[in-house]
Amino acid sequence: MNSEKDYKEFGKHTAKTLFKGSTPYRTENFFRELCRDMPEHLDSKQIGGIVEYMKSIFNQKQKQEKEDKDGKNKKKKKPDVKGGGGKGYEFNNNQGMVTDVMGGAAGNDDYGEYGDETAVKKEGEE
């Protein structure tokens, strides 16, 4: 078994045998044993290539599991409540901003009945 083709075929055969079993938790132990003597036979560049390949598989699997989990456990978001016409608007319940826009404490009647700025009372006026 000296050619790259031979190694690939051996890997495929080993994978079929390994993943055919009913105890997948033992697969991790298999890989640990397989990799134990790796530093004696491979240089750091070769080991790094294996690590990068395994990391890419890990990232893909983690992404898939997250998408599966999000799809099953997440409730559909309700759309934002908007009113008015056209683009609509969002309600702002920020009291500080409301106070700034209204010119004083909320509920202040400095503006006329309809918010007419000409009806603003000046300090000392009644």
Q: What is the pLDDT of residue 30?
A: 86
- The larger pLDDT score, comparing residue 78 to residue 69, is at 69
Q: In angstroms, rounded to a whole number, what is the distance separating the alpha carbons of residues 67 and 64?
A: 5
DSSP 89: B
Contact 87, 81 (CB under 8 A): no
Q: What share of the chain is helix, strand, coil (3-state, %, to 5)?
A: 60, 0, 40
The residue ranking higher by pLDDT, 100 or 112, is 100
DSSP 3-state assignment of 103? Answer: coil
Residues 36, 43: Cα–Cα separation, whole Å: 14
This prediction's pTM: 0.49
